[in-house]
Structure 1
């Protein structure tokens, strides 16, 4: 799909969307007793006296933070961010509950389902989107790809049909993204206010879907994630608020991260004709060796796409799709201080 989009973009010579390098963020305070370029990462209680955040870009420091997760650092997000994604979201759940919900998600998005259903669904959606874009003089790549991916994931999660929908839910998520990391001023007209209103509208729609499905006389033929969660509600293994927050978060993360990755890969392919040519040849060879040239992609064909896999991994390596990652120090951690060895303060 990335190769096809890149070829189309190259023909139009439209500017492709780019990506920016992600930066890990941790609470940092500098120690006066040590060299001034020696960062000290302070634990959560320190925020009561000073709310200091520092964006870290050195690769060595970022690796240390991620490798020491759950030992010196924990996943953390600003209070405003947590208000947006919901108090009962998957991120804040303890280990056992988090693992249980992750297993539920894998029932629909795991490798088995990917091999059996999703690879075909993604191809059909990509083909129809490419045909639709041919009639346009230009497109906003990131937005167009986001809408396309949203239609795939939303269909799996809530049986959303983009062909019959007025894209109202997608528009709400578009507003949601613009205020995700905005200054948390809940005042009409601000990005944060629009973001919270978008969340309110989406949650209302999801609640209506849950109520409709729970009150249905019989289950629908094609099971989606709402059906899976309703089964869990009947078992009392999850609360309704947690279920709603989970669907809300999955809808956002599934299309936003994937569309960012596709946009980045297309940007790099457009700038590297040699790589684009090799990618195109790999896909053309697979199509020519099919018994039926018009048949859909199979899992076996996907596994043959070695260069495609390299392109995806290299794109993700060069441009982190996450704009920022938050971590909280749970112990005082001193890194490379004053010529001494790494130590806890």
Structure 2
């Protein structure tokens, strides 16, 4: 072998050694202790491909289920280039959700961050991310609660919500069939857009926002043809819409409505973090979150109700009693009536339990966290696997069965630690009461005045965000 051959041989050995070193470092990350069991997958992409494989089942996503069975309730992995620990341990998850600002901070994958990260430059010229500053989150959450929280529902929203549901059902009953997910998304999107920002969206705008939601957990590869690229295009549309609405309202103060948009503009006068960019992203994120989970929950409820005539019969009994006890039959649902819908709320909770729109709740460790003899290093992402909690056979008997009656006997401590459709701790979703009320009011009118039958579809797919395959089509008839 000549000098050139020796040199090439040495270079090859060096390259192979470097690759081996990098791979070894990837598979065995630095840790001041013992990492949870699991696999980091391939360098850079980790186990992202396995994570994104669709599943045609309502069950726990296979990615989480197989690894939990192999490694236990807490395991490590890597998703979209980030080191991650996934947990289905109820006690640990409950603890983590109470540690906001102490051990963890709100967090999400890069694709999610680039699509809805609510950040901007405050008047001090420094970046102020909503996701990592507690007092800003509290301020924004209180604003949302003032618009769609329990008090707002009781005082002013419930009649408008009921009118929206009534009009939608009348319209749907004239159609040969309709795709429940698309139809409910459109109705809820239009209602929340008007409620929060005082505008009536163009036709099919809800579909474009739904597409954004579908891409929240896609691999953040921004090249033409990818899901993420299409999501970013729709995101730009959404941001422009929010910017135009804000500019229009600012230019016409006489159109003051006291809605969320007005609260945003008022806040910009007093809060240093509330820049134009921040406000636009906040509006966009809240509108995106306000309809997708609700429409998916309502669709899933109808999928199961179509297959469960005994549940429908029990609902009919409850709502018939409400109508019989109502002083004015033509009157609307009162707050007292809504709060009396006990079985209806069991149906709502059962739908939310089985839904699990996304793969989990995300937090990032801001300190090393010690659990069950393992260490989760600072900077790692923690994914609280809602599906593994809410479909756990040790907690819920026959968890894949739609059984609203189970909620009569569940202990409060079990519910607190194993039923978290809206998150938990200081970050619990401000739209929880709004979501439950809308489903209950919708079911009241559907059950009382209409019948329906399945036309086609209803296949449930997790990818990992839940979807309904080619749709769920029904025919609604007035009684």
TM exceeds 0.5?
Answer: yes
- For the residues of structure 2 that align with 1:23 and 1:104, how far apart are their CA atoms? 38
The answer to whether the aligner puts 1:283 opposite 2:322 as a matched pair is: no
Q: CA deviation at 1:68?
A: 5.1
Q: Report if aligned partners of 2:85, 2:376 keep a CA contact under 8 Å in 1.
A: no
Q: Structure 1 141/64 Cα, relative in aligned 2: closer, same or farther at 3 Å?
A: same
Per-residue CA deviations over 1:214-268 (Å, capped at 9, x if unaligned) read: 111x422633211111111122442221111111011011101111222222233
Please name the residue that 1:77 is paired with: 108
The alignment yields a C-alpha RMSD, in angstroms, of 3.3
Which one of 172, 175, 182 corresponds to residue 133 of structure 1? 172
- For the residues of structure 1 that align with 2:130 and 2:112, how far apart are their CA atoms? 11
Which one of 208, 219, 230 corresponds to residue 194 of structure 1? 230
Q: CA deviation at 1:313?
A: 1.9
Please name the residue that 2:459 is paired with: none
Q: Structure 1 310/91 Cα, relative in aligned 2: closer, same or farther at 3 Å?
A: farther
Which one of 225, 246, 252 corresponds to residue 260 of structure 2? 225
Which one of 249, 272, 276 corresponds to residue 213 of structure 1? 249
- For the residues of structure 2 that align with 1:231 and 1:74, how far apart are their CA atoms? 28
Please name the residue that 2:331 is paired with: 295
Q: Which has the higher contact order (CA 8 A, sep 6+)?
A: 1
The answer to whether the aligner puts 1:260 opposite 2:299 as a matched pair is: no
Which one of 257, 270, 273 corresponds to residue 235 of structure 1? 270
Q: Report if aligned partners of 2:368, 2:376 keep a CA contact under 8 Å in 1.
A: yes
Please name the residue that 1:96 is paired with: 135
Q: Report if aligned partners of 1:182, 1:192 keep a CA contact under 8 Å in 2.
A: yes
SS in 2 for 1:135: coil
Q: Report if aligned partners of 1:73, 1:329 keep a CA contact under 8 Å in 2.
A: yes
Q: Report if aligned partners of 2:115, 2:232 keep a CA contact under 8 Å in 1.
A: yes
The answer to whether the aligner puts 1:112 opposite 2:151 as a matched pair is: yes
- Flag structure 1 segments of 5+ consecutive residues without an equivalent: 1-16, 29-34
Per-residue CA deviations over 1:278-301 (Å, capped at 9, x if unaligned) read: 111111111122222121111111
Q: Structure 1 344/215 Cα, relative in aligned 2: closer, same or farther at 3 Å?
A: closer
The answer to whether the aligner puts 1:274 opposite 2:313 as a matched pair is: no
Which one of 190, 193, 197 corresponds to residue 154 of structure 1? 193
Q: Report if aligned partners of 1:153, 1:254 keep a CA contact under 8 Å in 2.
A: yes
TM-score normalised by the chain length of structure 1: 0.77
Greater shift after overlay, 243-252 or 66-75?
66-75
- For the residues of structure 2 that align with 1:240 and 1:23, how far apart are their CA atoms? 42
Q: CA deviation at 1:23?
A: 10
Please name the residue that 2:365 is paired with: 329
Q: CA deviation at 1:193?
A: 0.9
SS in 1 for 2:163: helix
Which one of 179, 183, 189 corresponds to residue 215 of structure 2? 179
Q: CA deviation at 1:40?
A: 6.8
The answer to whether the aligner puts 1:86 opposite 2:108 as a matched pair is: no
SS in 2 for 1:53: strand
Q: Structure 1 235/300 Cα, relative in aligned 2: closer, same or farther at 3 Å?
A: same
- For the residues of structure 1 that align with 2:60 and 2:330, how far apart are their CA atoms? 39
- Flag structure 2 segments of 5+ consecutive residues without an equivalent: 1-55, 121-128, 378-479
Please name the residue that 1:32 is paired with: none
SS in 1 for 2:358: coil
Q: CA deviation at 1:99?
A: 0.9
Please name the residue that 1:247 is paired with: 283
Q: Which has the larger radius of gyration?
A: 2
Q: Report if aligned partners of 1:269, 1:276 keep a CA contact under 8 Å in 2.
A: yes
TM-score normalised by the chain length of structure 2: 0.57
- For the residues of structure 1 that align with 2:110 and 2:286, how far apart are their CA atoms? 20
Q: CA deviation at 1:96?
A: 1.1
Q: CA deviation at 1:209?
A: 1.2
- For the residues of structure 1 that align with 2:147 and 2:111, how far apart are their CA atoms? 30
SS in 1 for 2:279: helix
Greater shift after overlay, 168-177 or 67-76?
67-76
